[in-house]
């Protein structure tokens, strides 16, 4: 496919020094950048107002693989200051990605992708030189942590209202190259992918724990694993680890909410008969009334 011009808002940034590389694939080009208010020669793109701390490194689009580089933790995309503490949590600042969350995201995502689920491709986790923020009425230094990965599509399902129809169809029309079960109704194809993903995760003792339209791309890549539980990233809290399976059931409904979102956008009437079939095929008949 020909590369369309990236849609979104330009964000200015500056390059800073990497302090420590925590995880990385081989031969990765790093993008250690922090969002700044003043105009610079370095530009990133935020696809919509729903991306608060992740940005597209548009100038690193790989035309050979048709993949985009994304970095997360660069700072706020919608405020003059790149990091801002409002003191709900002592060690948290808006625009900031905690080191332990970035590592969980990277490791959990790698595990989930090995199950046959299309996800973002993790590239690296690294910390940057300290930045000053106001925290608890004092100026403190934090080391920003960057999670860097690449995707087929840089836009989420939640971005649909902010994109041109041409851009949306550009990615939706490519589903036939990515998935086997393609239906004439777009929401039914999405249901095939999303419900299969849930089944594969649950069969392998995985809880994504954040399934919603902001965490699926328009290529139906599953993203954002910083809250996820997998066999390689069990929860530290004993109660959370003991009860995670109780939270798995809701991920079926959360996936169907995304399917409904897609049906509404494309003005499709929900095909309840086919959706019932897809649920039964994935072993979710216990959630259906007798036909």
Residue pLDDT, tens place only, 62-98: 777 789 999 999 988 887 667 777 766 666 778 889 9
Q: What is the pTM of this model?
A: 0.92
Confidence at 124, pLDDT banded by 50, 70, 90: very high
Residues 61 and 6: beta-carbon distance below 8 Å:
yes
What would the two tokens of residue 142 be?
């934090």
Return the domain boundaries, the chain: 9-151, 157-285
Average pLDDT for the chain:
91
Q: Mind listing the pLDDT tens digit for each residue in 170-192?
A: 999 999 999 999 999 999 999 99
Q: How many CB atoms lie within 10 A of CB 259?
A: 23
Q: Kindly indicate the confidence band of residue 1, based on its pLDDT and cuts at 50, 70 and 90.
A: low
Q: Where are the beta strands (DSSP E) in 68-163?
A: 68-72, 121-128, 131-135, 138-142, 145-151
pLDDT score of 84? 76
The predicted-structure confidence for 35-60, as pLDDT tens digits, reads as follows 888 888 998 999 998 888 899 997 77
* Angle (CA) 206 212 215, round 5°: 80
pLDDT more than 70, % of the chain: 93
The answer to whether 45 and 167 have CB atoms below 8 angstroms apart is no
What does the pLDDT read at residue 58? 72
Q: Which two tokens stand for residue 221?
A: 């890549």
Output the pLDDT for position 280: 94
Helix (H) or strand (E) holding 272: helix 272-281
State how far the Cα of 209 lies from the Cα of 226, in Å rounded to an integer.
9
Give residue-wise pLDDT tens across range 232-258.
Answer: 999 999 999 999 999 999 999 999 999
pLDDT value of position 136: 57
**Distance (Å, rounded) from C-alpha 188 to C-alpha 270?**
8
Q: Exposed, middle or buried by CB within 10 Å (0-12, 13-18, 19+), for 136? A: exposed
Instruction: Report the pLDDT value the prediction gives residue 35, as an integer from 0 to 100.
Output: 87
Instruction: Determine the pLDDT at residue 290.
Output: 66
Average pLDDT over residues 103-108: 98
**Which residue in this structure is represented by tokens 């409002």?**
86
> b/e for 82-91, b at 16 or more Cβ within 10 A?
bbbbeeeeee
């Amino acid at each position: 496919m020909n590369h369309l011009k990236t849609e979104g808002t330009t964000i200015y940034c500056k390059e800073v020094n990497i302090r420590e590389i925590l995880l990385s694939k081989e031969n990765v080009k790093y993008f250690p950048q922090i969002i700044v208010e003043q105009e610079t020669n370095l530009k990133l793109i935020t696809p919509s107002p729903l991306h608060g701390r992740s940005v597209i490194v548009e100038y690193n689009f790989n035309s050979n693989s048709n993949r985009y580089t994304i970095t997360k933790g660069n700072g706020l995309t919608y405020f003059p200051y790149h990091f801002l503490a409002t003191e709900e949590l002592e060690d948290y600042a808006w625009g900031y990605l905690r080191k332990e969350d970035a590592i969980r995201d990277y490791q959990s995502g790698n595990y989930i992708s090995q199950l046959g689920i299309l996800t973002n491709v993790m590239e690296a986790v690294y910390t940057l030189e300290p930045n000053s923020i106001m925290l608890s009425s004092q100026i403190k230094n934090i080391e920003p942590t960057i999670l860097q990965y690449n995707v087929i599509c840089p836009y989420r399902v939640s971005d649909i209202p902010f994109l041109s129809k041409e851009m949306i169809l550009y990615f939706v029309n490519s589903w036939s190259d990515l998935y086997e079960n393609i239906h004439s109704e777009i929401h039914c194809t999405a249901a095939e992918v999303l419900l299969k993903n849930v089944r594969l995760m649950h069969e392998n003792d995985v809880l994504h724990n954040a399934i919603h339209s902001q965490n699926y791309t328009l290529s139906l890549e599953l993203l954002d694993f910083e809250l996820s539980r997998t066999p390689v990233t069990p929860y530290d809290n004993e109660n959370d680890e003991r009860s995670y399976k109780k939270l798995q059931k809701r991920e079926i409904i959360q996936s169907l909410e995304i399917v409904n979102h897609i049906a509404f956008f494309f003005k499709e009437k929900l095909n309840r008969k086919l959706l019932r079939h897809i649920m039964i095929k994935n072993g979710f008949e216990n959630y259906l009334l007798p036909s």
